Amino acid sequence: MVSLDLTGELHNTRGTSIRAGSGTRFNRLETYERSGAWLAGSSPNYARFYPVSTDGWIDLRMAAEQGLFFTAGLRFDAFRSGIRFQRDRTDFLAPVLDAGWQFALAPRISITLPIPGSEGRTSVRLNYGRVAQAPLDDAALAGVVDWMLRRFDPAHLPKDTPPYTADEVGRLRQTPLLDVEKVRASLLEAVERTGR
């Protein structure tokens, strides 16, 4: 992994400051597994990919009366998994799918309050912020599910299976699966009926 970070801060005499920073991380991941290792003669499965994450932020910190500070800012995060795969691994001419970049923009807000009687030595900070590793949007989740199906069980996936779309995932998210045991039992029953 290689990481690059840059941070700067500008102060004035009234206690107000502007801070900004950015960072980028380059990773190299390698995986090795035996696909279908429980079968005789199964082939090894090897993958190498290069995830990249980058971020940037800016904060304005303002001093108020009696040691009170307000901070407001904005953070930008971007992530690319580096995962690329062929839609059909048995066809070397099949299109290569790329997970692409994911972006997030999030506010950063905080208040720092001094604790009375501590003479400025102790304070409490309340803050709100979000980061890019929060829940995936519909398009990203569709991409992850497609990648998992094709990466971990391509033998049981029919060749004409279309990829999930963001609209399809969005519709499915509207009715979350609440009774997992009941649905699992009905799926197992259906599998037994069909003999698969």
pLDDT per position as a tens digit, 64-95: 777 788 889 998 989 888 877 776 767 778 78
Determine the Cα angle at 132 with ends 55 and 147, to 5°.
115
- Pick from 176, 179, 102: which is nearest to 141 by CA? 102
User: What SS3 state is found at 87?
Assistant: coil
What is the mean predicted confidence (pLDDT) over 21-26? Answer: 92
CB atoms within 10 A of CB 133: 11
Q: Which one-letter DSSP state was computed for residue 155?
A: G
- pLDDT digits over 31-64, tens only? 766 666 566 655 556 677 788 989 999 999 888 7
Check pLDDT > 90 for residue 20. Answer: yes
pLDDT tens digits, 89-139 = 677 787 877 778 888 888 888 888 888 777 767 778 787 765 444 457 788
> CB-based burial of residue 190 (10 Å sphere; 0-12 exposed, 13-18 middle, 19+ buried)?
exposed
| pTM (2 d.p.) | 0.52
Burial of 51 (0-12, 13-18, 19+ CB in 10 A): middle
The mean pLDDT of 3-22, rounded to a whole number, is: 87
Task: Bin 131: left if φ > 0, else alpha if -120 < ψ < 50, else beta.
Answer: beta
